[in-house]
Amino acid sequence: MSSVVIVGTQWGDEGKGKIVDLLTRSADYVVRFQGGNNAGHTLVVNKQQYIFHIIPSGILYEDKKCMIGNGVIIDPAILLEEIASLAEKGLPVTPERLTISENAHLIMEYHRRLDQAQEASLSKEKKIGTTGRGIGPCYVDKVGRTGIKIGDLLDEGSLREKLAASLDEKNFLLKQKYSEEPVSFEVVLANMLSYAEKLAPFVGNVSVELDKARKRGENILFEGAQGTQLDIDHGTYPFVTSSNTVAGNACNGSGFGPTHIDSVIGILKAYTTRVGEGPFPTELHDQTGEALQRKGGEFGATTGRKRRCGWLDGVVASDAVRLNGLTGLAITKLDVLSGQPKIKMATSYELGDRSLSAMPSNIRDAARVKPVYEELAGWQSEINEVTAYEDLPVEAKDYVKRIEDFTGVEAVIVSVGPDRDETLLLKNPFEA
């Protein structure tokens, strides 16, 4: 029995979905533990593309049980759309295959409305780059103890009471602060009751179910969303998401004891990308950046926005190693670097006369740092058809080795193309 946590090491979009899909083959349970439908995991299986926003990507396997933990916030309309979309592709999602924690909080219409109104009211330099999906306002309600949980859908009296109390405050803000139309109590209630009927069979106690699975000796895979530098506490605040994206939250967000975690695999893109606003020390504003964006297909699965692209940031990678306690790396999109004559990796930052080995917590300093680069030789041949690590170009293997040496963490997976099978599994964490 093993329990493995998958986390992003950068600003999200590292290719976690594909790695989760690979490791799901060895897992019995796949658990999503934080975030909401602001996340987007893209998988390509037999030339068929699947994009997951809420449901764990392990749902592609009929013999796996998927769980949505209490740390996830759920837009019920989006969840039901995702279930319907998968069914249309021949992947029925049943209560036998998916359990949703009764303690997961719900994204309501007023959360989306407030999210969009708040972002629109900010000046350009202060915009966060939110997806506008209600994520932040929902987490605010959760922390403020005024949120509505999915378990409340099963108790109409409780739902009515909580909804009425919340709408009083939210409509005041919408009308008085943002000059927006109020949200109708009756419309929201009717929608929620409709969702309740459809989702009730999926609702259960994820923590109890996972503990029983652990005691039976089942393999459990925890699937993170976003990336380490988007963590609400440890990321480039305020340009972050509203949840804890680091590995420690796998336990908080699912009700699973920390001493039961066996390994933590960090997904590291071979270069660095970021969506939205915020510091990005290695960002490239030249033809190389455009080439990485084009060849890497760097467009957000959730928003469709172009991802900013730059060289690999070793400082960001080192932060991820420390914050997550990484035991292995999954290096993704190595193939995108094929054709580059030289490859660079930032090994430290300069800030005035200071040398920094970690991202500064002061956001103004984070925006001012200058990366110190180490240059490595590139390779010209395409590598997407390589099936054994030893067959990679020498320069590609040297690059992977340099990443391992710099971070102090071994690469256990190397991705050489977008398809499911274009992945080199060097060491299976479930068999370690």
pLDDT digits (tens, 9 = 90+) for 21-60: 899 999 999 999 999 887 766 666 666 777 788 999 888 8
Q: Is the pLDDT of residue 132 over 90?
A: no
Total number of residues shown for the chain:
432
pLDDT band with cut points at 50, 70 and 90 for residue 118: confident
Examine the domain organization and report whether 274 and 315 are in the same domain. yes
- Count up the domains in the chain and report the number: 2
Separation CA 253–CA 33 (nearest Å): 5
SS3 32: strand
Residues 6+ apart with CB under 8 A from 233: 244
Residue 334's CATH number: 3.90.170.10
Examine the domain organization and report whether 265 and 279 are in the same domain. yes
Examine the domain organization and report whether 186 and 214 are in the same domain. no
What residue numbers bound the domain in which 232 lies? 1-100+207-432
Examine the domain organization and report whether 176 and 47 are in the same domain. no
Examine the domain organization and report whether 76 and 136 are in the same domain. no
Examine the domain organization and report whether 76 and 189 are in the same domain. no
Examine the domain organization and report whether 280 and 193 are in the same domain. no
- Backbone phi and psi for residue 371, each to the nearest 5 degrees, phi listed first: -70, 145
Do the beta carbons of residue 229 and residue 10 sit within 8 Å?
yes
Separation CA 314–CA 395 (nearest Å): 18
Examine the domain organization and report whether 294 and 416 are in the same domain. yes
SS3 210: helix
Examine the domain organization and report whether 285 and 363 are in the same domain. yes
H helices within 173-223, ranges in order? 185-199, 206-215
What Å distances lie between residue 196 and 35, 103, 430, CA to CA? 21, 14, 37
Among 171, 198, 225, the domain boundary falls at 198
Among 198, 221, 256, the domain boundary falls at 198
pLDDT digits (tens, 9 = 90+) for 360-416: 999 999 999 999 999 999 999 999 999 999 999 999 999 999 999 999 999 999 999
Residue among 19, 21, 29 nearest 66 (CA)? 29
Examine the domain organization and report whether 85 and 215 are in the same domain. yes
Separation CA 32–CA 375 (nearest Å): 37
Examine the domain organization and report whether 254 and 360 are in the same domain. yes
Residue 171's CATH number: 1.10.300.10
| Residue 386 burial (C-beta neighbours within 10 Å; 0-12, 13-18, 19+) | buried
Residue among 53, 42, 35 nearest 20 (CA)? 42
pLDDT digits (tens, 9 = 90+) for 340-366: 999 999 999 999 999 999 999 999 999
Examine the domain organization and report whether 260 and 390 are in the same domain. yes
pLDDT digits (tens, 9 = 90+) for 137-174: 999 999 999 999 999 999 999 999 999 999 999 999 99
Q: Would you name the residues annotated as active-site residues?
A: 13, 41
Among 198, 219, 250, the domain boundary falls at 198
Do the beta carbons of residue 92 and residue 57 sit within 8 Å?
no
Whole-model pTM: value is 0.93
